[in-house]
């Protein structure tokens, strides 16, 4: 049954991307997907990297050529077989969190997203933009084929704050069913204000799928801890099994210890709301920052929603300066699932490249 669901979902999502019809990812939340035959795939013909080169003042640099770059894969120099300069078009996916915790600032969130789309259209009209919205469910609100005016109208009219936060499912589905189905230069701009509380997938699976897409992830977060404490309306939590393990593993990591992953009466204890939420937010920000940095993107954590428009402008202003570099390592010598570290060097020592730091090798499933 699950296999049929996945197959039909794949067909429907492909039709959405090709035809532009809006579609809602209705997730089967009856049970976890546990099919071990599913494989995270990355192209076996080319490893692609988006690179931004910064000068000593932190400003992006244009005008560099293929000869200005050197690539290493696990320390082995690689021949550059593909090079796209900054003028080449890019596919951009904007992911917007509209969970219930955003209800006080949803108008500002929508205005920031609309300004981002408008600015990108004015500066890079050849770029393609898709909009994904998530709360309990994940919706491809506006595929690449819709006009920028349609996208801004849909954001204004269709996004309302409600439900929980299926953040990791949003990353997983966007990576697998959208980014993994397109080629060329790809980047993601994700806004979220909270911690995941509804996903079937965990962070590690979402993280590996995200890296497998060759996309760069820019992540914008608002520190929402105080509001979460107010909204919780309680002094103590009785943690669920998943929340207990996340909490105890976080505590163990803080003291460089380990926990025995067994069912324990401890998870039935009550834990301080502030302690639980502070740790949950800290771990969430650490994981999101890891995804942004490893993929070559930027991570922003701000204290006020009114800072978002400025950050959207910063991200949009940098996108025109992306170089895309491709190379073909010796895949025959690779082991499935292993992580390969990437290093990019530029000929001018005063310039600093920013790029994704590696990828998980997965041969294409037969």
- Here the CATH number for the domain that contains residue 111 is 3.40.50.410
Domain holding 111, by residue range, is 2-28+89-235+298-319
Instruction: Say yes or no to pLDDT of 8 above 60.
Output: no
Inter-residue contact 218 to 188 (CB < 8 Å):
yes
Instruction: Please state the domain count of the chain.
Output: 2
User: 314 and 327: one domain?
Assistant: no
User: 60 and 150: one domain?
Assistant: no
The C-alpha angle with vertex 219 and arms to 218 and 225, in degrees rounded to 5, equals 170
pLDDT in tens, 303-338: 888 888 889 888 988 888 999 999 999 888 888 878
User: 96 and 221: one domain?
Assistant: yes
Other beta carbons within 10 angstroms of residue 136's beta carbon come to 16
User: 178 and 81: one domain?
Assistant: no
**Per the domain annotation, does 244 fall within a domain?**
no
Q: What is the mean pLDDT of the chain?
A: 81
Inter-residue contact 98 to 159 (CB < 8 Å):
yes
**Per the domain annotation, does 257 fall within a domain?**
no
User: 162 and 177: one domain?
Assistant: yes
Instruction: Say yes or no to pLDDT of 67 above 90.
Output: yes
User: 75 and 101: one domain?
Assistant: no
| E strand residue ranges, 18-108 | 23-25, 47-54, 69-73, 76-78, 80-84, 91-97
**Per the domain annotation, does 227 fall within a domain?**
yes
Confidence label for 267 from pLDDT (cuts 50, 70 and 90)? low
Q: Pick the residue with more confidence: 174 or 29?
A: 174
User: 126 and 154: one domain?
Assistant: yes
CATH number of the domain bearing residue 65: 2.60.40
What pLDDT does residue 295 have? 95
d(CA 296, CA 218): 8
User: 227 and 182: one domain?
Assistant: yes
Inter-residue contact 325 to 48 (CB < 8 Å):
yes
Q: Pick the residue with more confidence: 6 or 138?
A: 138
Q: Pick the residue with more confidence: 293 or 26?
A: 293
d(CA 358, CA 336): 14
pLDDT in tens, 73-129: 999 999 999 998 877 889 999 999 999 888 888 999 999 999 999 999 998 899 999
User: 75 and 155: one domain?
Assistant: no
Q: Which of 10-14, 192-196, 225-229 has the lowest mean pLDDT?
A: 10-14
User: 189 and 328: one domain?
Assistant: no
């Amino acid at each position: 049954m699950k296999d049929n669901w996945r197959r039909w979902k794949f067909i429907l999502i492909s039709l959405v991307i090709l035809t532009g019809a809006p579609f809602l990812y209705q997730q089967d939340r009856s049970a976890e997907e546990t099919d071990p035959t599913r494989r995270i795939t990355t192209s076996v013909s080319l490893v692609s990297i988006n690179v931004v080169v910064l000068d000593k003042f932190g400003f992006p640099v244009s005008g560099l050529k293929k000869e200005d770059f050197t690539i290493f894969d696990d320390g082995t120099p690689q021949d550059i077989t593909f090079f796209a300069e900054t003028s080449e078009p890019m596919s951009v996916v904007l992911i917007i969190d509209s969970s219930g915790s955003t209800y006080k600032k949803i108008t500002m969130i929508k205005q920031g997203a609309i300004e981002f789309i408008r600015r990108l259209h004015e500066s890079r009209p050849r770029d393609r933009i898709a909009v994904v919205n998530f709360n309990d469910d994940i919706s491809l609100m506006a595929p690449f084929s819709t006009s920028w005016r349609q996208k801004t109208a849909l954001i204004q009219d269709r996004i309302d704050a409600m439900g929980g936060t299926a953040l990791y499912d949003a990353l997983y589905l966007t990576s697998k069913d959208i980014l993994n189905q397109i080629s060329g230069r790809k980047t993601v701009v994700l806004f979220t204000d909270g911690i995941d509380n509804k996903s079937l997938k965990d962070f590690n699976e979402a993280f590996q799928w995200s890296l497998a897409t060759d996309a760069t992830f820019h992540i914008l977060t608002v520190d929402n801890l105080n509001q979460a404490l107010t909204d919780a309306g309680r002094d103590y939590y009785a943690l669920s099994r998943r929340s207990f393990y996340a909490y105890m593993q976080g505590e163990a990591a803080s003291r460089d210890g380990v926990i025995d992953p067994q069912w324990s009466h401890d998870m039935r204890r009550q834990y301080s709301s502030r302690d639980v939420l502070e740790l949950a937010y800290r771990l969430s920000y650490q994981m999101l920052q890891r995804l942004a940095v490893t993929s070559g993107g930027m991570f922003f954590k701000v204290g006020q929603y009114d800072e978002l428009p400025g950050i959207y402008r910063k991200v949009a202003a940098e996108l025109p300066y992306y170089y895309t570099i491709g190379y073909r390592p010796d895949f025959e010598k690779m082991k499935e699932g292993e992580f390969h570290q990437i290093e990019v060097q530029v000929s001018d020592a005063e310039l600093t490249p920013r790029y994704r730091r590696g990828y998980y090798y997965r041969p294409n499933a037969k």
